[in-house]
Amino acid sequence: MLATFVIFLREGIEGGMIVAILLSYLAQIGQRRHFRDVFAGVAAAMILVLGGGIAAYATLKTYAGSRTQTIFETFTFLLAAVVLTYMTFWMRSHSRTLAKTLRAKTEAALDGKARWGLGLLSFQAVGREGLETMVFTLAIVFASSGRGVIAGGVAGLAASMAVSWSVYRMGRKLNLGLFFTVIGALLMVFAAGILVDAVENLQQLGWLPVLTHPLWNTSGALAESSTLGDIFHTFFGYADRPTVLQLVVYLVYLATAISFYLRRRTPKSHSSRPTPAGGTKLTSLQAGAPPS
């Protein structure tokens, strides 16, 4: 539940923030009539992602317990870890220019077939976040017993919508740069856990037959199958019988990724205003607050 809550919170806020930027800019230039086009694109993206996720899960269930399922899970783990790492660094690097880029794309859409252009723009933005969320959710389902996955996702999505609304109404008062820095660091821990699961599967498949000796056995004190063990395993990568390679991959990835992430700086702004301590102050309304 904790992992899906954080994933849906993070992805929901990023997707919601993009929609908030589009709606705010349309409102500022007196084009509120195109709100419905933005919402149509959002709805289409959500339907596509939800349908794709259900289809993928239903298909995989037919191979439950087979080698095919293990292979599919392994590639899902690796893809989720790569995408999670990439998109976290991407947001950190592009936070300052996100609003400007979206405003330019909105202007381009309005110059042409606005209805289709704005719908496609919101479809692409929300669809990308939705696909990422689908991959992460599948990885979580495979890596855990599945308890609380839906509840955590719903709670995270609800919280993200509340934050996104706050961004729309009070963008200049919210330091989303700090938020994404903290959440990004937490997601690096989650990605490390996903890599551990991938390594475990690769060793079980015989594709990575090195450093397979178990380091310890804490299944008696805290089994992965228990409720608490499941939470620790899903979010922190806890294993009650980890191999040497699992521990090495976990520590090397975590140390490297978090070190670069926390030291990474966004490009310097051309503005004369100083960058606030604790990260870039990312607001969705850099062009001005929305009209009341």
Q: How far apart are the first and last CA of the chain?
A: 37
**Encoding tokens for residue 22?**
């589009």
- Across residues 94-123, what is the average pLDDT? 71
pLDDT class of 186 with cuts at 50, 70, 90:
confident
The pLDDT of residue 243 is above 80:
yes
Strands in the chain per DSSP E: none
Of 243 and 156, more confident: 243
> What's the whole-model pTM score?
0.71
Q: What is the pLDDT of residue 1?
A: 62
Of 8 and 147, more confident: 8
DSSP one-letter code for 226 = S
Q: What is the pLDDT of residue 85?
A: 87
pLDDT class of 252 with cuts at 50, 70, 90:
very high
DSSP letter string, 50-85: HHHHHHHHHHHHTTTTSHHHHHHHHHHHHHHHHHHH
pLDDT class of 202 with cuts at 50, 70, 90:
very high
Percent of the chain at pLDDT > 90 equals 13
Provide the mean pLDDT of the chain.
77
Q: What is the pLDDT of residue 271?
A: 43
CA distances to 18, 41, 102 from 111, in Å: 20, 18, 14
Q: What is the pLDDT of residue 289?
A: 39
- Across residues 212-220, what is the average pLDDT? 91
pLDDT class of 26 with cuts at 50, 70, 90:
confident
Q: What is the pLDDT of residue 183?
A: 76
The pLDDT of residue 264 is above 50:
yes
